[in-house]
Amino acid sequence: MKKYNPTTPSRRHYTAVSYKQLLQGDKKRVKALTKKVTKHAGRNNQGRITMRHQGGGNKNVYRIIDFKQNKADIPGKVEAIQYDPYRTAFIALICYADGERRYILAPQGLHVGARVTRSEQAPFEVGNRTVLKRIPVGTFVHNIEMFPGKGGQIARSAGSSVQILAHDSGYTHLKMPSGEIRKVMSDGYASIGQVSNIEHNLVVIGKSGRARAMGVRPTVRGSVMNPRDHKYGGGEGRTQRGTKRPKDKWGNITGGRKTRKKKKWSNTLIMKRRK
């Protein structure tokens, strides 16, 4: 983690992730593995804001990440560890033995020059990808498939990892970062190790201008709005909420109510809910 001298009030608590490990290897992005993503500033196809506090920010180019890693039994070499503006984790540029290049999520400890492979018989080393039923109990994995062949969906953000607790009746029991224990099919693939950039949650933004550069607009409390704009709005001065139950902007009750559907199909796969 990088800390700055307090040359201005906003710099006093300003911190950033150190990018020393990104200086190894090629720093240029591969143009064939990028595409332009149109920004919508939180608006739908009618132009109405459906997600507040979005807009502006620096222009970014989207990197196409290979979450499936379906090049079976073809070894690859790590050419570079790079920054990705669209995700919290770092990404690794892999050059496979057949000459093809792809981006994957970089696990913690992966370095330039390392070898990675996706195989049913892959060794249990950081960056390798194999089926869940082969991975020993207690191992930490990431980029886990919920459905075999669909590609990794679980544990993809910076510093996240899932621990394998057991294998039973075609299912693997996983302990999520939240503490939840759930089952996924053992035929799905997962990558060994913890996702890189584990210090991401320690970053202090420090000033509003840095948030604006990230595309985050100011947040306004509902209680200072007009009644037509928010359920908590209205009143003279700094008044209380004015409603019996906490509600969101659209009048849906939020306080203490569980929002998960009672008949959701995946309820049977959850063995223990998060605390």
| The two structure tokens encoding residue 136 | 């020993």
What pLDDT was estimated at residue 16? 92
Backbone angles phi, psi at 223, to 5 degrees: -70, -15
d(CA 230, CA 210): 28
Measure the CA angle with vertex 158, ends 166 and 133; round to 5°.
20
Helices (DSSP H) in 100-240: which residue ranges?
208-213
Residue 25 exposure: Cα atoms within 13 Å on the Cβ side: 23
What is the pTM assigned to this prediction?
Answer: 0.86
Q: Was domain 227-267 assigned CATH 2.40.160.10?
A: no
- Tokens 């009746």 belong to which residue? 169
Q: Which two tokens stand for residue 191?
A: 């990558």
- Under the phi-then-psi rule, with left for phi > 0, alpha for psi from -120 to 50, and beta for the rest, what region is 57? left
* Alpha-carbon 62 to chain mean position: 15
Which regions of the chain does DSSP assign to beta strands (E)? 2-3, 15-16, 34-35, 62-63, 76-82, 91-96, 101-105, 115-116, 129-131, 140-142, 144-145, 152-154, 162-168, 171-175, 181-185, 189-192, 270-272
Predicted local confidence at residue 180, as pLDDT: 93
| Tens digit of each residue's pLDDT (9 = 90 or more) over 80-110 | 999 999 999 999 999 999 989 999 999 998 9
> Per residue in 168-200, pLDDT tens?
989 999 999 999 999 999 999 999 999 999 999
CA nearest 114: which of 122, 98, 124, 126? 126
- The CB-side HSE value for 182 (13 A sphere, CA atoms) comes to 19
Closest CA to 33 of 73, 72, 79, 88: 79
Whole-number pLDDT of residue 252: 82
What is the residue whose two structure tokens read 């510093």?
159
- Going by the DSSP 8-state scheme, the letter that residue 92 receives in this structure is E
| Annotated domain spans of the chain | 18-201, 227-267
What's the pLDDT at 73?
A: 87
Q: Which residues pair with 267 in a beta bridge?
A: none
What is the distance between the alpha carbons of residues 176 and 166, in angstroms, rounded to a whole number? 13
Any residues with CB less than 8 A from the CB of 94 and at least 6 apart, and which?
76, 77, 78, 79, 101, 102, 103, 104, 116
pLDDT beneath 70: ranges in the chain: none
Homologous superfamily of 18-201? Nucleic acid-binding proteins (2.40.50.140)
**Which is nearest to 254 in space by CA: 239, 244, 262, 264?**
244
Q: What is the pLDDT of residue 183?
A: 94
